[in-house]
Chain A
Amino acid sequence: MTDARSVEAGSLLSVRGLTKYFGSFAACNGIDLSIAPGEIHALLGENGAGKSTLVKMLFGVLQPNAGDIVWGGSSVSIGSPGEARALGIGMVFQHFSLFEALTVAENIALSLDPRIPLAKIAEEAASLSKAYGLPLDPNSHVADLSVGERQRIEIVRALLQNPKLIILDEPTSVLTPQEADRLFETLFKLKAEGRSVLYISHRLEEVQRICDRATVLRHGKVTGACDPKQETPASLARMMVGADVAAVHREEAPQLGDVLIEAKGLSVAARTPFAVALKNVSLTVRSGEVLAIAGVAGNGQGELFDALSGEYPVADDASVSIRGQAVGRTGINGRRLLGAGFVPEERHGHAAVSDMSLSDNLLLSRSRSDRKSFLSGGLLSVIRHDAIRETARRICGEMDVRKSGDDPNAASLSGGNLQKFIIGRELDRKPSVLIVNQPTWGVDAGAASRIRQALIDLARAGSAVIVISQDLDEIFEVATNIAVISEGKLSPSYPAGELSLERIGLLMGGIHDSTRHDQSAQAEAALAH
């Protein structure tokens, strides 16, 4: 490791004892960090470790409660993003700070000097985006752009201010592997120009590949500073998580049984102007199988979930069937009665109501399927609160849900604990079909591994499981078979062992093979190689 002092002396940015409280909770607690000119510096940590809070303080969105920020040798206080930009700090947000109703040029103009005319901004954005290999049309509306293109806007917006330091928050989580490679080239170009990059990620191999140094956070504190190329993924993971995360176990050749859920030529028109239409989607999942559906965000995952769950039934009854029964026109509760369970992507306001208790949230998905045990009084449908509370307690115990109080509001749980509850709520019914959208999005590593293991165990016990995910690591961890969704079209499914990362990346980018409806094993095997 390089001597910390010598680096700090010539550092572009250094941070001492930076602390941020939300109420009584310390999101960042005495953080030290220094970034040298012309380096790509990784900020590693799990969800909830305080990475986003830290960079929001560096970008002036949040104000620290204590600590110093030293920029180019002098102490500064960054009161607003405008001040950060003036210093030479650019930021690419994880949840993009873009405006869908506005054009690309207008989006960029909002963070620039108001005296520069819009036409000039459009011109500069176009030429800059060409120079860095990030093609963009300044006059298109953001709503019409893909996730990758949106990220380019954010990067171009940051670059237009000629920053000395550019912060990227989990930039590859929304990209295909190929798009990520292209992003890395851009980052190397920036580095060659002498700019620094603060690269936030929880993907270890990426960090090892492109970063010069790394700072690791856990529970709001720095737990390590290292050269990631000298470390192993295991040692980095230990710094991030604090302990070894239980590896997920699964059988190599699971026993597959009957087809439990099937979609045949499922097509759904886009419901809103911002939605994706499903085009002729076909899939079958057998008992004992985990079908993982990979894809970049915004390619129809939510729409596929809606159609399979019956939240939005489809016109063609035969296009979806569960356990041999056509259910295309059946609503979600009808499908639940056939033994299906569902876990949507968005926890707050979809899978759960934030300001309702856990027991109420249990009733949310099971008022019909568990009518007998949860309701009484015949037509009056009187809620048996104690029976429900008892079941909620049992689920929390089984899934190790950490909570304050007996039956707290869903909002008071951390993302990981709420997700464990939501998954446990369905597992508790022993569903024969389970469809999960982004099961571990924004969830800490411990909870994620527990959830993945639970999904595999469910399949092993004879259920059919569909996991829709953007996380390729997760997909390879849980999948028996893998299919890829792109622009509302679903590829054929391939056995997990026969699919390379590159191949998935190409499929995610929308490059489908000509034989996509030919599901014969030979064709799949041939294509996979």
Chain B
Amino acid sequence: MLEAILLTIITASTPLVIAAAGELVTERAGVLNLGVEGMMIMGAVCAFGAAHVTGYPVVGLVAGILGGALFSLLFGFLTLTLVANQVATGLALTLLGLGLSGQIGESFVGIPGVKLQPIVFPLLSDIPFVGPLLFRQDLTFYLSIALIIGVHWFLFKSRTGLKIRAIGDSHGSAHALGINVIRTRYLAVMFGGACAGLAGAQLSLVYTPQWVENMSAGRGWIALALVVFASWRPARVLAGGYIFGAVGILQLHAQAFGIGVPSQFLSMLPYAVTIVVLIIISHNRRTTLINTPACLGKPFVPDR
């Protein structure tokens, strides 16, 4: 029983971790992309479609990543090249993504999906309890863990990561030193889009292998909250992602048990918890100020 619950928690947390890891890199570069929900749902529909057409879920995974990344380019073009307001453009991306995915996925409704199968590690997966949890998961779970480690290494150990942090801290200084702010930000935005797309692919290939309109159900927004919760640090994204995932799953189990609370109130829990977590993490203005990338959301026009 516990094992089954933990398994579903892992599956529910993985897309949050993946999407938040991507957004974290984008925000570290000083760009606030509120379109995670839109990129995620685009990833979900692209992944479902590609997997359905080819029959290979891995192709779907790749399509989800590409779909999210391409869709994020739209955001990049508006906010980086045309210096449009990042908040408004992020909202636009979400609204367009929800609409467009509904249109694209119209013919997918009701079709059984292709599920991404777990990768079973021989021997390791036979370890009681731990084995099935950690060594009999699908590719996206392993990717999510690799992503967290990779993003941490990239941001804090690599020179390109240093550049990204520098741009997020002061794009003016970075430009004066000869760092190509716009190009680097494009890449950071696309990385965020690719991750959101992968997270969406996980939804339509693993979590519920089918296409349902609006199936992201606010997870993109929760991923955004997760980045704030994590104070822009990758390891905390992992921890936070599992807390949020667990809340979502536990309320489902509570509904199944029928603990006397109306199901709607239990369904509110993930959203209410997000608010509570935001309160806890934001109420100390000083730490928020220290952690937030100083240029987050600010427009940048290089003088030439």
A residues touching B (Cβ–Cβ < 8 Å)? 22, 60-63, 80-82, 84-85, 93, 95-102, 106, 109-111, 114, 272-274
Report the minimal beta-carbon distance from A436 to chain B, rounded to whole angstroms: 27
Chain B residues whose CB sits within 8 angstroms of the CB of A82 once the complex forms = 178
Q: Known pairs A81-B176, A100-B170. 12 more at Cβ < 8 A?
A: A61-B178, A61-B303, A62-B303, A81-B177, A96-B173, A98-B173, A100-B294, A101-B169, A101-B294, A102-B165, A106-B166, A274-B289
The reply to whether A272 and B166 contact each other, CB–CB distance below 8 Å, is no
Bound together, the chains give a CA A85 to CA B178 distance in angstroms of 10
What B residues does A97 contact at CB under 8 A? 170, 172-174, 176-177
Write the B176-190 contact mask toward A (1 if CB under 8 angstroms, else 0): 111100000000000
Chain B residues bordering chain A, tally (CB within 8 A) = 24
Is B286 on the interface with A (CB-CB < 8 A)?
A: yes
Q: B283 an interface residue at 8 Å Cβ cutoff?
A: no
In the complex, which of the residues B159, B160, B162, B175 contacts A102, with contact meaning CB atoms closer than 8 Å?
Answer: B162
Query: Do residues B176 and A61 form an inter-chain contact, with CB atoms below 8 A?
Result: yes
Alpha-carbon separation in the docked complex, A114 to B163 (Å): 10
Most buried by B among A81, A84, A101, A272: A101
Smallest Cβ distance from B87 to chain A, in angstroms? 18
Known contacts A81-B176, A81-B178, A97-B177; A110 and B163 CB within 8 A of each other: yes
**Measured CA separation A107–B176 after assembly (Å):** 13
A99 to chain B, nearest CB (A): 4
Q: Cβ of B172: which chain A residues have Cβ within 8 Å of it?
A: 95, 97
With contacts A99-B169, A102-B162, A272-B286 taken as known, whether A63 is within 8 angstroms of B304 at the C-beta atoms is yes
- Asked whether B123 is an interface residue with its Cβ less than 8 Å from the other chain, the reply is no
- Asked whether A100 lies within 8 Å of B169 as measured between CB atoms, the reply is yes
Looking at the assembled complex, report how far the CB atom of A460 sits from the nearest CB atom of chain B, in whole angstroms: 42
Considering the chains assembled together, what is the distance between the CA atoms of A99 and B175 in angstroms?
Answer: 12
If A62-B303, A62-B304 touch, whether A102 touches B166 (CB-CB below 8 Å) is: yes
Q: CA of A272 to CA of B179 in the docked complex: distance in angstroms?
A: 29
Residues of B within 8 A of A273 (CB): 286, 289-290
Residues of A close to B177: CB separation below 8 A: 81, 97, 110-111
Q: B165 contacts which chain A residues (CB < 8 A)?
A: 99, 101-102
Residues of B with Cβ closer than 8 Å to A? 159-160, 162-163, 165-166, 169-170, 172-179, 285-286, 289-290, 293-294, 303-304
Chain A residues in 8 Å Cβ range of B169:
99-102
Given A81-B178, A99-B173, residue A109 in contact with residue B159 (CB < 8 A): yes
Q: List 9 A-B contacts (CB under 8 A).
A: A61-B176, A63-B304, A96-B173, A97-B172, A101-B169, A101-B294, A110-B163, A110-B177, A273-B290
Residues of B within 8 A of A61 (CB): 175-176, 178, 303
Q: A114 to chain B: closest CB distance in Å? A: 4
Contacts of B178 in A (CB 8 A): 60-61, 80-82, 84-85, 111
Closest 4 CB pairs of A and B: A81-B178, A97-B173, A114-B159, A97-B176
A109: chain B residues within 8 A (beta carbon):
159, 162
Which residue of A is nearest B285, CB measured? A272
Determine the chain B residues whose CB is within 8 A of the CB of A106 once the complex forms. 162, 166
Q: How far is the CB of A69 from chain B (nearest CB, A)?
A: 16
Q: How far is the CA of A97 from the CA of B171 in the complex (A)?
A: 9
Which residue, B163, B166, B286, has most C-beta atoms of chain A within 10 A?
Answer: B166
Give the chain B neighbours of A96 by CB distance below 8 A. Answer: 173
Q: How far is the CA of A325 from the CA of B290 in the complex (A)?
A: 38
Contact check: which of A60, A84, A98, A111 meets B170 at CB < 8 Å? A98
> In the complex, how many angstroms separate the beta carbon of A12 from the nearest chain B beta carbon?
21
Q: Is the CB of A110 within 8 A of B166?
A: yes
Q: Closest B residue to A116 by CB, please name it.
A: B159
Closest to B157 in A: A118
Query: Complex: how many Å from CA A449 to CA B304?
Result: 33
The CA of A371 and the CA of B299, in the complex, are separated in Å by: 36
Contacts of A62 in B (CB 8 A): 303-304
The CA of A61 and the CA of B174, in the complex, are separated in Å by 11
Q: Which of B178, B179, B285, B290 has the most CB of A within 10 A?
A: B178
Residue of B nearest to A107 (CB): B166
In the assembled complex, the Cα of A61 lies from the Cα of B164 at a distance in Å of 19
Question: Inside 8 A of B294's CB, which chain A residues have their CB?
Answer: 100-101
Q: Once the chains bind, are B170 and A99 in contact (CB under 8 Å)?
A: yes
Chain B residue numbers with a CB within 8 Å of A22 are 303
State how many angstroms separate the Cβ of A303 from the closest Cβ of chain B. 16
The distance in angstroms between the C-alpha atoms of A96 and B304, with both chains bound, is 19
- Name the distance in Å between A147's Cβ and chain B's nearest Cβ: 15
